[in-house]
Chain A
Amino acid sequence: MANQTSSIKSPIIKRWQTWYTFVAFLYMYLPIAVLTIFSFNESPSPSQWTGFTWSWYAKFLQNPTLLAALWNSLSVAFTAVSVSAVLGTLTAVGLAKYYFPAKKIYRGATYLPLIIPDIAIAVATLVFFAAIKLPLSLGTIVIAHIVFCLAYVSVVVSSRLANIDPKLEEAALDLGATPIQAFMRVMLPQLLPGIVSGCLLAFVLSMDDFVIAYFTAGVGATTLPIAIFSSLRSGGVTPELNALSVLLIIASASIAAIAEAVRSWGNRN
């Protein structure tokens, strides 16, 4: 009994969970450390270290295939997220505000993209596009990405909405604001942290999506994950990919940091 009480209060450094978690952190970062180290390795072989070099970064920046794919991915993600920001926010607001028949079904439908496996969404979308004879292109990837991006934005904004006092909007209406003014000036600023973090999440997921893009991409509409996958599959793995992954990790870490900052700033307000 005394033991139990003392073990709850024993110093953090002496607890086995602390060391276990430390090892778990090492495990999570091991692959990333490996990619980073070998991105600076002179030898293209990942089995030995021959010396430090920046040349793989220079080579990546001069690789037209990878750069074009990066540009395609950024355009797809940017377009899909912009549309989803509006649609997802409207959905979250509408679901919080109105009661209507079949509301449960509507809400369930917004969760479907998060539940149905990517591979099933991918083949269904492919079959559908073929049936309506829509030629595959970058645009078809955007259409497919909006489906899951709007679901993520809607879920994140909904959870933010749950913490907002609905009386604020009512007060604005009472004080003579039109419904649009009340939404734009009172609700939107409150929702903004939720919208921003939902969009950042959707952006990262869209940039990272391989399976859906692989099925819905037309000839020449190669996104970054598709380009990475084909170079991994053909065995033509070069340390340029290491350099690219380090750059992507830095970019993602910055986006994640921004998202967290926005979230905690939102919670404080």
Chain B
Amino acid sequence: MTADNVNEAPNDGEQSAKIKWLEPFAILFPSGFWLVTFLIIPTIFIFIQSFVPIGKTEFGLDNYQQVFRFVGGNFIYLVVVWRSLLYAMITTAFCVILGFPVAYWLAIIAPKSWRNILLLLFVLPLWTSSLLRSYAWITILRPTGILNTFLNLIGLSGINFLNKAEGVIIGMIYTYLPYMVLVLFTSLERLDLRLLEAAADLGANAKQTFWQVTIPQVSSGIIAGAALVSITSFSDYINPQLLGGPGSRTIASIIELQFLGAGSNKGFGSALSMVLILAVSIVIALLIKYGDRRVVSDG
């Protein structure tokens, strides 16, 4: 009936059932093999290892109990997990608030022929070494750095942001803002401007139009951007390591110490990695659930 059926008919005749099965297998097997061998099996390895306590051979939950270890009035590891979560949430909030007007301008206000090139220019710093970008922030934030030189020049006293939470969060916002703008841009680009005009014609003021017409249309984009930024900043290693101090270590640094540090404990490190993967899976599950539902109701 359709062109498809007519086209496929001679192929079906030529190909035996065996070849039909062989072709997709040959095309899809190499990547599947690679992902299973070098990603899925290794992940199962650390999953198993997370149940093997250090110095023991039988399985146990000791490594997960260690996450809740209480020393000197402090949950020493839970504090780190909470801190990573807090940094990720602050970073995500700032990226949404700072990134939205930029994405809005790039997608809607900027001259049409310039939009893609301006977006490319905005995210270009992503294409440069992430280590060197954090290093640049050291140069800016250090006590004798550019920020403090400038503050002194205008008569204010210097601030030290380096080696503490502020430094880490400044670095993270800088790192993840382009990702947020990229996702929001894609979402805002599809915004139906006629609806905004209709809202204005029907007597809505700018504020009402924004909250009741624009935001519902792009909410799935905001959710997607927030999920992306919170996942990647939660497990960030570079910014806490370079811009933070001992009091601003995050979960990634603790995992690194368990494998490459002096007092290494691979079982505990594996357990922390599983906690990280679990946290990320929860965010992804929420994204699939709520992100999609909004998209459906948008359509």
A residues contacting B by CB (< 8 A) are 1, 3-5, 7-8, 12, 15, 17-18, 20-21, 24-25, 27-32, 34-35, 38, 46-47, 86-88, 90-91, 93-95, 97-98, 100, 106, 109-110, 112-113, 115-121, 123-128, 131, 143-144, 146-147, 150-151, 154, 167, 170-171, 173-174, 179, 204, 207-208, 210-211, 214-215, 224-225, 228-229, 232, 237, 241, 244-245, 248-249, 252-253, 255-257, 260, 264
| Extra 20 A-B pairs, beta carbons < 8 Å, given A91-B32, A115-B281 | A4-B200, A8-B200, A21-B102, A21-B105, A28-B177, A34-B136, A46-B142, A47-B149, A98-B28, A109-B32, A110-B31, A110-B35, A113-B35, A115-B231, A128-B42, A225-B129, A225-B131, A248-B129, A248-B132, A256-B120
Which one of B74-82, B202-210, B218-226 is at the interface?
Answer: B202-210
A17 contacts which of B27, B104, B149, B177 (Cβ < 8 Å)? B104
Query: Is B266 a contact partner of A150 (Cβ separation < 8 A)?
Result: no
A47 contacts which of B34, B135, B145, B277 (Cβ < 8 Å)? B145
Decide yes or no: A46 and B139 within 8 Å by CB, A21-B101, A147-B35, A255-B127 being known contacts: yes
Query: Is A253 a contact partner of B24 (Cβ separation < 8 A)?
Result: no
B residues contacting A by CB (< 8 A) are 3-4, 7-8, 10-11, 23-24, 27-28, 30-32, 34-36, 38-43, 45-46, 49, 98, 101-102, 104-106, 109-111, 116-117, 120-122, 124-125, 127-133, 135-140, 142, 144-146, 149, 174, 177-178, 196-197, 200-201, 203-206, 209, 231-232, 234-235, 237-238, 242, 252, 255-256, 259-260, 266, 269-270, 273, 276-277, 280-281, 284
Decide yes or no: A34 and B128 within 8 Å by CB, A120-B235, A173-B11, A232-B242 being known contacts: no
Bound together, the chains give a CA A233 to CA B127 distance in angstroms of: 23
Chain B binding surface SS class? helix
- Nearest-CB residue, chain B, relative to A201: B127
Query: Is B131 a contact partner of A120 (Cβ separation < 8 A)?
Result: no
A127 contacts which of B105, B140, B260, B266 (Cβ < 8 Å)? B266
Q: Can you sample 20 A-B contacts with CB below 8 Å? A: A1-B201, A17-B101, A18-B105, A24-B101, A34-B146, A46-B142, A47-B144, A98-B28, A106-B32, A116-B280, A117-B252, A127-B266, A127-B270, A128-B45, A147-B34, A170-B7, A171-B7, A208-B130, A248-B128, A260-B120
Q: Which 3 A-B pairs have the closest CB atoms?
A: A117-B235, A31-B136, A128-B42
Decide yes or no: A208 and B200 within 8 Å by CB, A21-B106, A119-B237, A241-B135 being known contacts: no
Query: Is A100 a contact partner of B24 (Cβ separation < 8 A)?
Result: yes
Query: Is B140 a contact partner of A34 (Cβ separation < 8 A)?
Result: yes
Residues of chain B lying within 8 A (CB to CB) of residue A170: 3-4, 7-8
Query: Is B27 a contact partner of A93 (Cβ separation < 8 A)?
Result: yes
Query: Is A245 a contact partner of B129 (Cβ separation < 8 A)?
Result: yes
Decide yes or no: A253 and B200 within 8 Å by CB, A28-B122, A109-B40, A123-B273 being known contacts: no
Q: B45, B111, B260: which has the most chain A beta carbons within 10 Å?
A: B45
Residues of chain B lying within 8 A (CB to CB) of residue A94: 24, 27-28
Bound together, the chains give a CA A257 to CA B117 distance in angstroms of: 9
Query: Is B235 a contact partner of A118 (Cβ separation < 8 A)?
Result: yes
Query: Is B129 a contact partner of A20 (Cβ separation < 8 A)?
Result: no
Query: Is A120 a contact partner of B105 (Cβ separation < 8 A)?
Result: no
Bound together, the chains give a CA A214 to CA B260 distance in angstroms of: 10
Query: Is B27 a contact partner of A131 (Cβ separation < 8 A)?
Result: no
Residues of chain B lying within 8 A (CB to CB) of residue A123: 46, 255, 259, 269-270, 273
Bound together, the chains give a CA A115 to CA B277 distance in angstroms of: 9
In the assembled complex, the CB of A238 is this many whole angstroms from the nearest CB of chain B, namely: 11
In the assembled complex, the CB of B281 is this many whole angstroms from the nearest CB of chain A, namely: 8
Residues of chain A lying within 8 A (CB to CB) of residue B139: 31, 34-35, 38, 46
Bound together, the chains give a CA A242 to CA B79 distance in angstroms of: 36
Residues of chain A lying within 8 A (CB to CB) of residue B42: 121, 124-125, 127-128
Query: Is B131 a contact partner of A228 (Cβ separation < 8 A)?
Result: yes
Residues of chain B lying within 8 A (CB to CB) of residue A144: 38
In the assembled complex, the CB of A82 is this many whole angstroms from the nearest CB of chain B, namely: 13
Residues of chain B lying within 8 A (CB to CB) of residue A93: 27
Residues of chain A lying within 8 A (CB to CB) of residue B196: 8
